[in-house]
Amino acid sequence: MKLGFILREAAKGLRQNVVMVVSVVLVTFVSLTFVGASALLQLQINQMKGYWYDRMEVAVYLCDDSSSSTNCAGKEVTDAQRQNIEKVLKSEQLAPYIKEYAYESKDQAYKNFLDQYKNSSLVDQITPEQLPESYRVALVDPEKYPVINEALSTVDGVDSVVDQRELLEKVFQLVRVASAAAAVVAIVMIVCAVLLTGTTIQLSAMHRRLETTIMRLVGASKATIQLPFIIEGVIASLIGGVLASGTLWLLLKFLVEDKLASENVGVAFISTNEVWLVAPGLLIIGIVLATISSVVTLKRYLKV
């Protein structure tokens, strides 16, 4: 099997079927863009959840100098108040509702903040002193948040009790719906890409049927005959995958990083770095789909 011959045949097929090849590139580009968008949306969900969303459902923020709550009176929480708050958390009254809790100092809050918002410009504007101390509380039943709120919201030293999961659940739900919609569209477009790739290979094979017949008669192997057609489909799909990856990078760069992240500094957005995690998968999907489509088509249309 001569590699040079196979590549020349593939190049010839690409030149002879430019319109159909462009169609394969475009439909692959669109389908893989939706596949990538669905994957990136899922990464965004995970990014937004962050450390505290998965582990802690309620945040009990303690007073600092800037607190306006009546429990604080503009003063920072004292050691005695902190001990009393922890006593309430350990009390028999709340024991049936609390699975676990953890104290988070200003320095710990700042470290977690840097981890969660590493792609936001807000990291340059926040210092540890600006972040409040807190207790992160995991509930046995998230529906019982009002019990925790009632028990702690009036305790001296407590600035506020926030059910963070409830605050973000609607946002996450919207992102999940968008991710599911992108996945459905991606599946439909992938089916279209497979069918169009198969049609393109079929037309190319029919157009060169005489050549392939002669090659079989002179002893050429099936692999030698089929590889040029497979390479045509793979090249078209790879171009579509590269275009899809580039489009996703541009969207994240100019829409997410430059616009959304700058306008919503309190939200943890993914960055263009995540595209490099998704791009290899898109290229592999394109190669696999093109190869399967080509092989199935050639099995039917290269019988001589």
Output the pLDDT for position 104.
92
With respect to CATH, is domain 52-163 assigned 3.30.70.3040? yes
| Cα 237 to chain centroid, rounded | 22
**What integer pLDDT is reported at residue 301 of this predicted model?**
58
Element (H, E) at 103: strand 98-104
* Rounded Cα distance, 171 and 269, in Å: 13
For 276, list phi and psi in degrees, rounded to 5.
-70, -20
Half-sphere exposure of 249 (CA within 13 A, CB side): 13
Q: Where are the domains of the chain?
A: 3-50+169-301, 52-163
Cα-Cα end-to-end distance for the chain? 20
The SS3 call for residue 62 is: strand
Indicate yes or no: pTM above 0.75: no
Contact in structure between 156 and 71 (CB atoms under 8 Å):
yes
Q: What pLDDT is attached to residue 304? A: 46
Give me the sign of the Cα torsion angle 260, 264, 269, 271: positive
Report the 10 Å Cβ neighbour count for 219: 7
* Tens-level pLDDT at each residue, the chain (304 residues): 566 656 676 666 667 677 777 877 888 898 888 888 888 888 887 776 654 555 557 889 999 888 888 888 778 889 999 999 999 999 999 999 998 898 999 999 888 888 777 766 667 778 888 888 999 898 888 778 889 999 998 899 999 998 866 666 676 677 778 778 878 887 887 888 788 777 777 776 676 666 666 666 665 566 666 777 778 778 888 999 999 999 999 999 988 888 877 776 656 778 888 899 999 999 998 888 888 887 777 676 555 4
CB atoms within 10 A of CB 104: 23
Output the pLDDT for position 98: 92
The per-residue pLDDT for 22 is 82
Closest residue by Cα to residue 81 from 58, 62, 60, 103: 62
Taking alpha carbons only, the member of 130, 187, 154, 180 closest to residue 60 is 154
d(CA 231, CA 13): 10
Which structure tokens are listed for 208?
């060169």
